[in-house]
Amino acid sequence: MSSMVIVNPAVPESYLPPALANGYKAQSHVFFLVFGAWFWDFVNAIPEEYTTVWRRRQNVVTMFYISSRLATFCAIVTAILVQITPTTHCNILKYFMCLSMAVASAGGSFLFVVRLFAVYDRSRVIAAITGILWTSTLGTSIAVPFSLIFGHIGPTDFCIAERVGWFGSLVVPFSITTVFDTLVFVLITWRMGMVSQDLAAETSYVSRLLSLLRGDGLPRFSKAVLQHGQKYFLATVVLNILVVVMLTTPTVPNVLHSIFIIPTIAMQNALSCRIYRETMLDIASVRSQRIDIVNQSPLQFQRDIDLSDMMSKNGLGSLDRADSL
């Protein structure tokens, strides 16, 4: 570092080795792209959010929804500020960013805790298992700031993560979240499989498994519930695994260890909130009998009504003035 020629002292990258400088710049670009994508999703969701969140009576679920939205926004913006704003309060920004990430992740996961609770008709066993995992995720997330060591770049006031602990407060929360998301996927798939009419007709285990994953024989709303879980699982689990790999790979530069954390938080929030809104609108459609019932038997349609009523009763609630949708 002492032999380096500082071309532009005002640019923080000038005080970093080339590999770290490139990683620092790449991280800034990633955060701006994430903010653009997340904000685009937020703006496009405003009409649905007005119908499914703001217009209805507020409860615990909607409060978690709103808090996760606000916390995700704060986490992304704070991450950008850490990259582009000179400040003498790096640790304050770090703690605020980590707290926002914890609230955002907990809020999104809670929407699926309620979803499972509703699908399994208030099963105490399901509530206990998912509740323990959700609480564990929240608890371990609180320790995240203690594994992030922030400092200044050279003599500038720009902040940078000097060291990221590979184990404990960063790896554990994302590992538990991966387990939680996998459990949600398995339990919802199993529950929807119990509703399917075509599983019994399959002879081999492979055929039964494929039918279960495809949702063969499921009514439209039940199949939508299944596919929502699959979509969320595929996106979030892949990103969570990627985060863990980046954190535990020693050859990755320090500045890049945490590069996928903000994208993962943003994706989790966008998907969990979208699935919540779509589920609420689907419930309203079933209850108002406006859902497409072509190629559905009366029994299938009745099962959709039963499932929507059960989910509405057990935590998801119902939309006010649903007939106006």
Confidence (pLDDT) at 266:
94
More confident position, 312 or 282: 282
Give the sign of the dihedral formed by CA 138, CA 142, CA 147, CA 152: positive
More confident position, 151 or 300: 151
Confidence (pLDDT) at 270:
93
For the segment 93-103, what is each residue's pLDDT rounded down to a tens digit?
888 998 999 89
The helix (run of H) or strand (run of E) holding residue 266 is: helix 261-287
At 244, is the secondary structure helix, strand, or coil? helix
Distance CA 93, CA 91 (A): 5
**Is the model's pLDDT at 312 over the cut of 80?**
no
Give the sign of the dihedral formed by CA 174, CA 179, CA 184, CA 186: positive
Distance CA 247, CA 91 (A): 20
Buried (b) or exposed (e) across 166-196, using 16+ Cβ within 10 A?
beebbbbbbbbbbebbebbbebbbebbbebb
8 Å CB contact between 100 and 145: no
8 Å CB contact between 30 and 262: yes
More confident position, 314 or 9: 9
Q: How large is the average pLDDT for residues 269-280?
A: 87
What does pLDDT average to over the chain? 77
Q: How large is the average pLDDT for residues 102-107?
A: 90
Confidence (pLDDT) at 325:
33
Angle between helices 205-214 and 171-195 (to 10 degrees): 100
Torsional class of 135: left (φ above 0), alpha (ψ -120 to 50), beta (otherwise)? alpha
The helix (run of H) or strand (run of E) holding residue 160 is: strand 159-164
**Is the model's pLDDT at 65 over the cut of 80?**
yes
Beta bridge mates, 150: 161
Judged on CB neighbours under 10 Å (0-12, 13-18, 19+), 118 is buried
The CATH topology of domain 18-316 is Rhopdopsin 7-helix transmembrane proteins (1.20.1070)
**Is the model's pLDDT at 78 over the cut of 90?**
yes
Confidence (pLDDT) at 322:
38
For the segment 13-56, what is each residue's pLDDT rounded down to a tens digit?
777 777 778 888 888 899 999 999 999 999 999 998 988 888 87
Q: How confident is the model at residue 323 (pLDDT cuts 50, 70, 90)?
A: very low
Residue 17: Cβ within 10 Å count: 12
Give the sign of the dihedral formed by CA 28, CA 34, CA 37, CA 41: negative
Residues with Cβ within 8 Å of residue 188, at least 6 apart in sequence: 115, 116, 119, 225, 226, 229
**CA distances for 304 relative to 106, 188, 274, 285, angstroms:** 29, 15, 20, 10
Q: How large is the average pLDDT for residues 232-245?
A: 86
Distance CA 136, CA 185 (A): 18
Confidence (pLDDT) at 308:
55
Query: What SS3 string covers 88-155?
Result: CCHHHHHHHHHHHHHHHHHHHHHHHHHHHHHHCCCCHHHHHHHHHHHHHHHHHHCCHHHHEEEEECCC
pTM of the entire predicted model? 0.82
Q: How confident is the model at residue 205 (pLDDT cuts 50, 70, 90)?
A: low
On the CB side of 284, how many CA atoms lie within 13 Å of its CA? Answer: 19
Q: How confident is the model at residue 202 (pLDDT cuts 50, 70, 90)?
A: low
Distance CA 217, CA 237 (A): 27
Return the domain boundaries, the chain.
Answer: 18-316
Q: How confident is the model at residue 8 (pLDDT cuts 50, 70, 90)?
A: low
Distance CA 78, CA 324 (A): 39
Which tokens sit at 150? 């922030």
